[in-house]
A and B are shown apart, each in its own frame.
Chain A
Amino acid sequence: MVTKSSSAGRPAKRKNPLGIFGTMSHLALVIWAILIIGPILWTFLASFKTNTEIFGDPLALPASFGWDAWGRAWEKAHIGQYMLNTVFVVACSTAATMLLGSMAAYVLARYTFPGNRLIYFLFVSGMTFPVFLALVPLFFVVKNLGLLDTHLGVILVYTAYSLPFTVFFLSAFFKTLPTSVAEAAMMDGCSHTRTFFQIMVPMAKPGLISITIFNILGQWNQYLLPIVLLSGNVENKWLITQGVANISTSAGYEADWPGMFAALSIAIIPVMFIYIIFQRQIQSGLTSGAVK
């Protein structure tokens, strides 16, 4: 039940007959927000604590704020190395995914040729299959190519597994672009390839950006593929999620808890940073991925 507002623009003061409901709903929202922020904030704070403080009252603030644990996590626990590895791998595989994915999507969306539908469905069906089904043979395919325990292997696999959704999303996008511009360019003697790179790609920019963010986040957060593909004795090649998970599962035996929380914080911060800047695009990109 709502009273009529007096004028548009300025929110009208209104007496809410469901006042209790209003208060309760705000309470629920605040509690959930605290449940989200609390654990993350607590992790940051714990990275400044000493070991003794960590085993004391979990809700107490650290006595002093020093960056020792962060330095230890970066250097000794190799979080810096894992971070650089991940940046390298994700940069390469996202670039490859976007290049190959948009090429394939463009051809499949705008050209008719025998086998077009077949290739399209081959790509799209990859979205529905659980990756665990392919795990064993994938390991041996990569091994037989001599790419096990290499970043190149991870990059190729990331790219291949990102193609289904990228092709699906971008071919729908390319279909919505007007044909007249491309046709005019071709009339003027532009080759197919040039038309694509100089006319279609710039026109498809909004779609390309949201799917790029989607792929960066997905590949950055990947855990299963690195632990399978970098499973040998190659700790210096590990990726960030692998490194953090390993520190946390072995932390029980080692003493450096603040170091572990610093490692976690280091892994969380860049993603939070990107999220806060791009949260609009990320939310719309990820949810448009869900509504197929």
Chain B
Amino acid sequence: MRHGRYPFIVGFLAAPVLLYVVFVVSPYIQAFYISLTNWKGISANPQFIGLENYSNLLNDEVFWAAVRHHGVLLLVMPLVTIVIALFFSFLLNVGGGQRGGQMAGVWGSKVYRVIFFLPQVLAVAIVGALFQAIYRPDETGVINGLLGKVGIDPVGWLIDPNIALLAIIAVMVWQAVGFYVVLFSAGMSTIPKDVFEAAALDGAGRFTLFFKITLPLLWDTMQVAWVYLGIAAFDAFALVQVLSVDRGGPDNSTTVLPLEIWRTAFSFSKFGYASAMGVALFFMTITFAALTLRVTRRERIEF
């Protein structure tokens, strides 16, 4: 173009790039190196120890417990969330049948959409604090209070190692469903209405509409949802940190890798080891995303 172009480009990029390189890029790169050292504290000089941190990880029971919990989270959380969200978004978009010649959602669908999405805007730390009171193990907790009315003994939602993780997953689902209802609704709105209308005129019931039309045409959106929920399953830090007893307990029955990274680094000052966990988490996340995109790849339906 003309004069002043390069000074302008440099002027506009300098500050954002500098900030980004200092606080984002350089830490990511350093993490890989730190994971190869035995850095334990601020005073001690870090020594290069190669892959020792990684071989220690392989024998670390807590690490494997955390990995197992990510496995459970990956299986249960996205599946439950997607099934519930699909069901609701179908109801809210086409479940009302034909109205005025157009497919419509059930009565009051706008209000439901506003309510369902609400937990999404609440901070995870605050949701955790809220559910701590709801899950209280005696009759003063909301759920146990309700159960008490029908004569069921209090359940130790968060203090029973067998169900603590599931109780936390339920909160994640509670918070996530609204987001995916909106996401799937957006996906459904791109499906041409006349596809539904033609099928409805041909006598297709709601079940046929759902399984034969909505589901296949929504495949792309569901794939995005699965990747997002999967990545959320690798995160789950704030909820476990605030909600679980003894931060990851009881007996490490709810711990996750981010929590172990945070604790190993900032409670035990084992920075090298924490970074090795970070690298493990990084590869798990990337592998998951790559696998999901490959496995779920299908022929695109053009419309």
Give residues in A with beta carbon < 8 Å to B: 1-2, 4-5, 7-12, 14, 16, 18, 21-22, 25-26, 28-29, 32-33, 35-40, 42-43, 46, 54-59, 100-101, 103-104, 106-108, 111, 113, 119, 122-123, 126, 128-130, 132-139, 141-142, 156-157, 159-161, 163-164, 167, 186, 191-193, 196, 217, 220-224, 228, 231, 240-242, 244-245, 247-249, 260-261, 264, 267-268, 271-272, 274-276, 279, 282-283, 286-287, 290-292
Contacts and interface: CB of A to CB of B under 8 A. Distances in A.
A136 B20 contact: no
Contacts of A164: 20, 24
A9 B100 contact: yes
A36 B179 CA distance: 13
B101 A59 contact: no
Nearest to A160: B23
Contact of A245 (B129, B139, B204): B129
A28 B87 contact: yes
10 contacts: A103-B16, A107-B12, A111-B5, A130-B285, A133-B278, A138-B27, A220-B123, A221-B122, A290-B179, A291-B186
Contact of A223 (B34, B133, B238): B238
Interface of B: 1, 4-6, 8-9, 11-13, 15-17, 19-20, 22-28, 30-31, 34, 84, 87-88, 91-92, 95, 97-101, 106-108, 112-126, 128-134, 139-142, 145-146, 149, 174, 177-179, 182-183, 186, 200, 203-206, 221, 224-225, 228, 231, 234-235, 237-238, 241-242, 257-258, 261-262, 265-266, 271, 274-275, 278-279, 281-282, 285-286, 289
B242 to A, nearest CB: 5
Nearest to A59: B145
B182 A287 contact: yes
A247 B133 CA distance: 12
Contacts of A135: 27, 261-262, 265, 274, 278
Q: Is the interface of B mostly helix, strand, loop or mixed?
A: helix
Given A135-B274, A196-B12, A242-B125, 13 more contacts: A5-B98, A25-B106, A28-B87, A36-B116, A55-B140, A107-B12, A113-B9, A119-B17, A130-B281, A137-B34, A193-B11, A228-B266, A248-B132
B19 A160 contact: yes
B24 A161 contact: yes
A211 to B, nearest CB: 14
B121 A58 contact: no
Contacts of B107: 26
Contacts of A123: 20
A129 to B, nearest CB: 6
Contacts of A37: 115, 118
A240 B122 CA distance: 12
B100 A10 contact: yes
B19 A100 contact: yes
Contacts of A261: 133
A65 B38 CA distance: 57
Nearest to B277: A132
Nearest to A21: B206
B224 to A, nearest CB: 6
A267 B119 CA distance: 13
Given A36-B119, A132-B258, A103 B12 contact: yes
Given A126-B20, A141-B27, A26 B117 contact: no
A193 B114 CA distance: 40
A231 B263 CA distance: 13
A134 B23 CA distance: 9
B16 A32 contact: no
B6 A113 contact: yes
